[in-house]
């Protein structure tokens, strides 16, 4: 039993199409993982800025309380 050339061609084309789809899927996943890693780094920087801002606000509040004491 031998497969006809048309059937062999269809099988090869389908295998190539499946391979291409799997390759695109893997590349997309890798790209998304890279983007998520970059976003995590940006969030760490942003969180660090927020922590510093909170410290500055606390320092400003205590400075205002000291100034108010001097004014009285």
> Could you tell me which residues come within 8 angstroms of residue 51 by beta carbon, excluding any fewer than 6 positions away?
none
SS (H, E, C) the chain: CCCCHHHHHHHHHHHHHHHHHHHHHHHHHHHHHHHHHHHHHHHHHHHHHHHHHHHHHHHHHHHHHHHHHHHC
pLDDT in tens, 44-68: 888 888 888 888 888 888 887 778 7
| Integer Cα distance of 24 and 11 in angstroms | 20
pLDDT in tens, 9-40: 999 999 999 999 999 999 999 999 999 999 99
Whether residue 1 has pLDDT greater than 60: no
């Amino acid at each position: 039993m031998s497969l006809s050339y048309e059937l062999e061609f269809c099988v090869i084309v389908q295998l190539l199409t499946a391979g291409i789809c799997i390759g695109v899927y893997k590349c997309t996943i890798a790209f998304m993982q890279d983007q998520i890693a970059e976003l995590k780094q940006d969030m760490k920087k942003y969180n660090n800025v927020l922590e510093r801002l909170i410290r500055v606000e606390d320092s400003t509040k205590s400075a205002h309380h000291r100034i108010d004491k001097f004014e009285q």
